[in-house]
Amino acid sequence: MFVVRPIARDDLPAVLALSERTGTGLTTLPASRERLAERIDASIASFAREAKREDECYMFVLEDAGTGAGERRVVGISAIEAAVGLDEPWYNYRVGTLVHASRALDVYTAVPTLFLANDHTGHTELATLFVDQAFRQGSNGPLIAKSRFLFMAEFADRFGDKVIAELMPRHPVYVNLLSRSAREAIGAVHADTAPARRMLEQEGFRYEGYVDIFDAGPTVEAFRDNIDAVRRSRVLPVTLEEDDPVPDTHVAGGVRWLVANRRFDDYRAILATAPARIDRFPLKAYAADALGVREGDSVRAVALRPSDR
């Protein structure tokens, strides 16, 4: 079973090993023991409600819980930055147009341009997201990525009204002066990132003309309460079922659900199969143990795929 939980200090070696597999493209997961330790400490302080608003960040790990103690392994990581740009400026580029015109000289030129902007100050950012290559099968990626939406739905007061997913020159960049390969990179994503973009767009995120200042990748955004997994998530009482040898993926008429407990500092999220229409959430005993819930407790849940909601 795979479980999403808050990061802990003793996860540092495993997270460092993950960071060394990401290459150079994931700047929010540096392959530096010291910087990772600082980020983990910041996350622990945030879950303890001890961090300042501008420092709040929540890091989660995807743990392969195995079948017993000693087999647990961290195989993925994700994070939420509660409010960007409150401590130091948070930059991106707005894709726009600069017009040079003169009737007297019979000149009219419209130049596509990148303008430096701080328009997303105070917004919540979906930051780090990485799963070990060997564990990307099935729904592990969506579990670690989308479980953040249930956390934001349950604790909405900790986050901004708008959510986004990614010193600098002060003057606009003239796109026509860039090389063809650089122009084609504006607003594009790496092939490895395309599935993550599709997943976010299925949840209601949209590209609104902002790109990253380092690699020109698109910044997609959505109002927090309009994210489909947030809007359609439900709080349901738990009913326990006996464990059996039949995997829960074979539940008749069942769909995969994201299921999370409702505890802030001891958050847990898993995938479970249940009928598409329910008033109580049926959990096998081992799944309830993974979430730390009992009969009569409540969970927040949403079908994993938007088409099943």
The residue annotated as part of the active site, out of 100, 120, 171, 190, is 190
Which pLDDT score, from 0 to 100, does residue 167 have? 45
**What is the rounded distance in angstroms from the CA atom of residue 171 to the CA atom of residue 166?**
22
Which pLDDT score, from 0 to 100, does residue 168 have? 45
Which pLDDT score, from 0 to 100, does residue 22 have? 77
Active site residue 171: no
Which pLDDT score, from 0 to 100, does residue 88 have? 80
**What is the rounded distance in angstroms from the CA atom of residue 264 to the CA atom of residue 153?**
12
DSSP SS3 for 183: helix
pLDDT in tens, the chain (309 residues): 999 999 999 999 999 999 888 765 566 777 889 999 999 999 999 999 999 998 999 999 999 987 555 578 999 999 999 998 888 878 888 888 888 788 888 888 887 888 888 888 899 999 889 999 899 888 999 999 999 999 999 999 999 999 998 844 455 555 666 677 776 666 666 666 788 889 999 999 999 888 877 667 788 999 999 999 999 999 999 999 887 655 555 566 689 999 999 999 999 999 999 999 999 999 999 999 999 999 989 999 999 999 999
Domains parsed from the chain with CATH numbers: 2-84+119-166+194-203+217-229 (3.40.630.30), 233-308 (2.40.40.20)
**What is the rounded distance in angstroms from the CA atom of residue 144 to the CA atom of residue 127?**
12
**What is the rounded distance in angstroms from the CA atom of residue 16 to the CA atom of residue 64?**
17
**What is the rounded distance in angstroms from the CA atom of residue 168 to the CA atom of residue 90?**
10
Helix and strand numbers, DSSP H then E, in the chain: 7, 15
Calculate the CA 38 to chain-centre distance: 20
Which pLDDT score, from 0 to 100, does residue 97 have? 84
Task: Pick the closest to residue 256 from 242, 276, 237 (CA basis).
Answer: 276
Which pLDDT score, from 0 to 100, does residue 26 have? 63
